[in-house]
Amino acid sequence: MKKKIDVKILRKFNQKELLIPKYATSGSAGLDVRVLLEEPVNLHPKQSELLPTGIAIHINDKETAAIILPRSGLSHKFGITLNNSIGLIDSDYQGEIMISVLNNGKKDFLIRSGYRIAQIVFFPIVKVDFRLVSSFSEVSGRNEGGFGHSGI
């Protein structure tokens, strides 16, 4: 059963249904997110821009959040990724979804209104309380090893 998420269209667009994020296939984990631009944006190499989507969502469930991720095809083919690698949308955020896009490629990339520029994935949240300890009751085989400790 699919969870219902409220979505609001914030500005006029001739094809409103395009602005609502959609799954590209039945097996897609992420919904494609489009940008809504007044005019095309020519993104130069190493340039970043904050792009509006024309929509706001309200998750309204403290046990759910969403992340904005780059689209792998855009990233691989053109170097178009997210400036902050990932964006987090909390359950109580109701503002416009903005996408911070970065051109990591070697050529200019022209972004037009309606382009699928990112994807949004919803996931459950586990809230924690920290318990202060002087040592851990169980010692793992990894201990403090990190950042490549297990080799290539």
Residues belonging to the binding site for substrate are: 71-73, 84, 88-90
Q: Of 122, 39, 117, whose CA–CA distance to 83 is shortest?
A: 117
> Are the C-beta atoms of residues 121 and 24 closer than 8 Å to each other?
no
| Residues 93 and 65 sit within 8 Å (Cβ to Cβ) | no
Pick the closest to residue 69 from 113, 36, 99, 34 (CA basis): 99
Contact 63, 125 (CB under 8 A): yes
Residue 77: in which H helix or E strand, if any?
A: helix 72-78
- The annotated binding site is made up of 71-73, 84, 88-90
